[in-house]
């Protein structure tokens, strides 16, 4: 990636040419600085959106407008005369020519300097085990990693090490450091905060009343060790230092680069609030069974809960999957801005599951109260789900549901709805702006239905007594109605049986 | 897309630039971006034109400039609206309202 020094050198070369015929009077040097600063800002913008450095400089220069005219105007206002070619023999002209040559040489030197600085930086990165790009070939696959920017890279390559071929220097192989341990008696503590960075954190239970945090680092340093502080009834565990940027690699189970694993053993006697957050990494909670409100959050990484029995579980990630399995939790609220949500074998009093961009899957989920499963952009899939107040809604995607129990509504702004109910306890609705609707209902009890479509066929149940039957609307009863069914699509057929 | 002729816009450039700086100090490239984004393609200003507006306004005491502390090569000159600039903008806005009403009557009137 081109550096600002390289951009500036290219900009200066063009400015040298444009200013070559003017002396270095203050209004002009100021003008030059101002143009240079603005051009650099434009070039950075253009380069960030993918233009090559040369193309970015050329485009920025062209879009700036009439630079020659601008210089001429400013020179005229300042009373600075432009040097003409004719008087190139005057002493002033000779001196100016020498100055211009020197400026050119300075620009060339700056350019060379920038190139050297870039090469040195690359060399430093190579020494640090983070070359600009790496290509890793194993028996089956080739992976190329761009590690030129600063940032954290995590690459997992499955497969064995046979046929391993790497260009670019691999990070240091694993040197297992002894685990660092933090311990604290939690009697009288009602709030536990875990604040980690680019770490994988796992929460597990432990007997007794002592909190144990085990930090394991591969290629770690002493100052990576975390800290524990107590403030009244609150315990805060904070991550220590972390490398500014790192590459972590796992090839066939062999780990290289910086890795950290944090295991938090939560005493079974602890009750209250437990919050764990990481900036970039996975968060896992398993087997915790106590009166605890657990809150997990990460900006970049997945969240997983398994075999939990808690009073509340809140999970949120900006970018990653969320899954909760085999758990019994009074209140569940999980959300991801970008990723899928999967709940399996979950029992709850009230539950919300949301994805900003991804699929939401509920499998064997039983909720005693309100259940909301929503996606801003993705399909919803429900299998063996029961709730007396179900809302499944997506802004863009299909809804597929089978073995549903309870009552509620299924809504899509753009997608088909396909749902089979095995037990109905209240009114049902299925609404989509565009797509077909197919609903299957149990034989008993009876119900009243109203179907409508903006454009499509309506197929009511065989045994129905119709009260209304037109091109776009059909209504009627099956048996003695115990609940109502409404199905409505803007465009598509509706089938009810 | 239809675009506005440059000479239609010329008389309003001071007001346009002051209205951008009213939201906070800024520098050339950013101001062109703000103006071009707000005009949705119907008008584009380049930095060379903007520079002459900056100089005119600075000379008249309507804006004041200061050098930013960016590292070498990328130093930007930031401009901020002054009290006189605020007054000029208010006057320009009143002028514009009058022009708008008058032209509406003259061009579209029965």
Query: Which is more confident, B45 or A153?
Result: B45
Q: In the predicted model, what is the mean pLDDT of residues A144-151?
A: 53
- Does the predicted interface ipTM exceed a cut of 0.90? no
**Of the given ranges (A1-10, A28-37, A219-228, B63-72), which has the lowest mean pLDDT?**
A1-10
A337 in Cβ contact with A357 (< 8 Å): yes
B76 and A11 within 8 Å at the Cβ level: the answer is no
Mean pLDDT value across residues A132-153: 58
In-domain check, residue B15? yes
**pLDDT interval class at A167 (50, 70, 90):** low
Per CB-CB distance under 8 Å, the chain B contacts of A67 are 48
Q: How far is B103 from chain A (nearest CA, A)?
A: 31
What is the average pLDDT score of chain A? 84
Q: Which of A22-26, A32-36, A81-85 has the highest mean pLDDT?
A: A32-36
Lowest mean pLDDT among A98-107, A477-486, B21-30, B65-74: A98-107
Classify residue B32: in a domain, yes or no. Answer: yes
* Domain total in chain B: 1
Nearest to B28 among A11, A34, A74 (CB): A34
| In-domain check, residue B1 | no
Contacts of B18 (CB under 8 A, 6+ apart): B57, B62, B63, B81, B85, B86, B88, B89, B92
> Is a pLDDT exceeding 80 seen at residue A140?
no
In chain A, pLDDT over 90 holds for what percent of residues? 51
In 3D, which of A333, A413, A345, A347 has the Cα closest to residue A379?
Answer: A413
Q: Do B74 and A4 touch (CB under 8 A)?
A: yes
- The residue extents of the domains of chain A are 4-127, 128-181+214-264, 368-497
pLDDT at A130 over 60: no
User: Which residue of chain B has the CA closest to A64?
Assistant: B47
Q: Residue B35 is inside which H or E element, if any?
A: helix B28-38
Q: Which B positions 55-84 lie with beta carbon below 8 A of chain A?
A: 55, 67-68, 70-77
Coil, strand or helix at A356: coil
**Per-residue model confidence (pLDDT) at position A114:** 65
For residue A152, how many C-alpha atoms fall within 13 Å in the half-sphere facing its CB? Answer: 15
Instruction: Indicate if the pLDDT at residue A93 is higher than 60.
Output: no
pLDDT band per the 50, 70, 90 thresholds, residue A149: very low
Q: Answer yes or no: is B23 within a domain.
A: yes
Per-residue pLDDT tens digits for A260-269? 889 999 999 9
> Distance (Å, rounded) from C-alpha B82 to C-alpha B60?
10
Asked whether residue B20 is domain-assigned, the answer is yes
Cross-chain CB nearest to A70 (options B51, B71, B73): B51
Contact B46/A63, CB-based, under 8 Å?
A: yes
> CB-CB: which of A37, A67, A69 is closest to B77?
A37
From A128's Cα to the closest Cα of chain B, the distance in A is 26
pLDDT for residue B5: 76
Residue A163 has pLDDT above 80, yes or no: no
pLDDT band at A463 (very low <50, low <70, confident <90, very high): confident
Q: What is the signed CA dihedral for A195, A201, A206, A212, rounded to 10 degrees?
A: -50
Q: Residue A183: pLDDT above 60? A: yes
Residue among B47, B48, B72 whose CB faces A69 most closely: B48
**Residues A168-181, mean pLDDT to the nearest whole number:** 65
- What is the tens place of the pLDDT at every residue in A361-377? 999 999 999 999 999 88
Strand partners, A145: A134
User: Is A113's Cβ below 8 Å from some Cβ in B?
Assistant: no
Please check whether residue B12 lies inside any domain of the structure.
Answer: yes
Paired strand residues for A355 = A336, A375
Please report residues of B whose CB lies closer than 8 A to that of A36. 73-75
What pLDDT does A208 receive?
Answer: 84
pLDDT band at A245 (very low <50, low <70, confident <90, very high): low
Q: Is residue A73 predicted with pLDDT exceeding 60?
A: yes
Determine the Cα angle at A62 with ends A59 and A65, to 5°.
140
Question: What's the CATH number where B75 sits?
Answer: 1.10.10.10
The residue of chain B nearest to residue A37, with distances taken between CA atoms, is B74
Which residues in chain B are contacts of A31 at CB distance < 8 A?
51
Mutate to test the interface with A, among B6, B32, B48, B77 (most CBs of A within 10 A): B48
Q: Which residue has the higher pLDDT, A422 or A180?
A: A422
**Contact residues, chain A, for B30 at CB < 8 Å:** 41
Nearest-CA residue of chain A relative to B79? A34
Q: Please tell me the predicted confidence (pLDDT) of residue A86.
A: 42
**Beta-carbon separation of A37 and B68 below 8 A:** yes
Q: How confident is the model at residue A197 (pLDDT cuts 50, 70, 90)?
A: confident
- Judged by average pLDDT, the poorest of A67-81, A157-171, A231-245 is A157-171
- Mean pLDDT for A419-430 is 95
Least reliable range by pLDDT among A103-117, A452-466, B76-90: A103-117
Give the pLDDT score at A83.
61
pLDDT < 70 regions, chain B? 1, 71-73
DSSP output for A197-261: SS-EEEEEEESSSEEEEEEEEES--GGG--EEEEETTEEEEE-----SSEEEEEETTEEES-EEE
State the average pLDDT over residues A234-261. 78
Average pLDDT for residues A63-69, to the nearest whole number? 90
Contact in structure between A310 and A228 (CB atoms under 8 Å): no
Residue A10 DSSP label: H
Identify which of A4, A11, A37 has the shortest CB distance to residue B27.
Answer: A37
**Is residue B49 assigned to a domain?**
yes
User: How close is the nearest chain B Cα to the Cα of A11, in Å?
Assistant: 9
Which is more confident, A143 or A287? A287
Report the DSSP beta bridge partners of residue B53. Answer: none
Comparing A190 with A127, the larger pLDDT belongs to: A190
CB of B52 within 8 Å of a chain A CB? The answer is yes
Q: Which of A85, A204, B107 is nearest to A214 (CA)?
A: A204
Give the whole-angstrom CA distance, residue A294 versus residue A304.
12
Higher-confidence position of A200 and B5: A200
pLDDT at B35: 94
Gap from A122 CA to chain B (nearest CA, Å): 21
Partners of B29 on chain A (C-beta within 8 Å) are: 38-39, 41-42, 45
Range of the domain at B85: 6-108
pLDDT, average across residues A79-87: 60
- Quickly state the pLDDT bin for A166 (edges 50, 70, 90): low
């Amino acid at each position: 990636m081109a550096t600002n020094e390289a951009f500036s050198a290219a900009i200066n070369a063009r400015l040298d040419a444009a200013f070559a015929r003017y002396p270095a009077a203050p209004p002009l040097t100021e003008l030059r600085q101002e143009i240079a600063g603005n051009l650099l800002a434009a070039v950075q913008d253009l380069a960030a959106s993918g233009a090559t450095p040369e193309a970015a400089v050329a485009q920025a220069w062209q879009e700036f407008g009439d630079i020659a005219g601008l210089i001429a105007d400013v020179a005229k206002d300042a009373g600075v005369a432009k040097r003409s070619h004719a008087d190139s023999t005057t002493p002033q002209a000779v001196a100016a020519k020498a100055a211009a040559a020197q400026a050119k040489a300075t620009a060339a030197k700056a350019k060379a300097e920038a190139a050297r600085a870039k090469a040195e930086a690359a060399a430093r990165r190579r020494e640090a085990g983070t070359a600009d790009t790496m290509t890793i070939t194993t028996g089956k696959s080739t992976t190329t990693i761009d590690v030129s920017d600063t940032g954290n890279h995590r690459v997992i390559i499955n497969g064995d090490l046979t046929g391993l071929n790497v260009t670019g220097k691999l990070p240091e192989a694993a040197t297992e450091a002894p685990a660092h341990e933090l311990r604290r008696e939690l009697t009288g503590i009602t709030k536990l905060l875990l604040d980690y960075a680019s770490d994988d954190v796992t929460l597990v239970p432990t007997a007794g009343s002592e909190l144990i945090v085990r930090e394991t680092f591969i290629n770690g340093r002493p100052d990576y060790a975390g800290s524990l502080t107590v403030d009244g009834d609150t315990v805060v565990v904070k991550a220590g230092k972390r490398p500014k940027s790192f590459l972590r690699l796992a090839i066939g189970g062999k780990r290289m680069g910086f890795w950290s694993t944090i295991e938090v053993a939560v005493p079974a006697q602890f009750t209250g609030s437990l919050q764990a957050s990481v900036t970039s990494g996975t968060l896992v909670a398993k087997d915790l069974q106590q009166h605890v409100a657990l809150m997990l959050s990460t900006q970049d990484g997945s969240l997983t809960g398994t075999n939990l029995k808690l009073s509340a579980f809140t999970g949120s990630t900006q970018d990653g999957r969320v899954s909760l399995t085999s758990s019994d939790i009074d209140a569940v609220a999980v959300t991801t801005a970008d990723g899928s949500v999967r709940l399996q074998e979950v029992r709850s009093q009230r539950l919300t599951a949301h994805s900003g961009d991804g699929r939401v899957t509920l499998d064997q989920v039983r909720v005693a109260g309100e259940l909301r499963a929503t996606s801003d952009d993705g399909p919803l899939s429900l299998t063996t789900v029961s709730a007396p107040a179900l809302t499944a809604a997506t802004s863009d995607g299909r809804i597929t549901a089978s073995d549903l129990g309870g009552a509620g509504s299924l809504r899509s702004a753009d997608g088909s709805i396909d749902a089979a109910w095995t037990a109905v306890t209240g009114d049902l609705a299925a609404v989509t702006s565009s797509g077909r609707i197919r609903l299957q209902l149990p034989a008993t009890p009876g119900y009243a239905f109203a179907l409508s479509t903006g454009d499509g066929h309506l197929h009511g149940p065989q045994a129905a007594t119709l009260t209304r039957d037109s091109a776009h609307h059909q209504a009627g009863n099956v048996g003695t109605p115990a609940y109502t069914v409404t199905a409505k699509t803007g465009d598509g057929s509706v089938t009810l049986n | 897309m239809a675009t506005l002729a440059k000479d239609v816009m010329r008389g309003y450039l001071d007001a346009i630039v002051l209205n951008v700086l009213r939201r906070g100090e800024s520098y050339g490239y950013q101001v062109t971006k703000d103006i071009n984004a707000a005009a949705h393609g119907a008008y584009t200003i380049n930095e060379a034109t903007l520079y002459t507006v900056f100089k005119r306004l600075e000379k008249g005491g309507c804006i004041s400039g200061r050098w930013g502390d960016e590292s070498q090569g990328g130093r930007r000159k930031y401009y901020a609206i002054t009290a006189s600039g605020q007054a000029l903008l208010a006057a320009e806005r009143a002028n514009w309202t009058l022009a708008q009403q008058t032209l509406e009557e003259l061009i579209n009137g029965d």
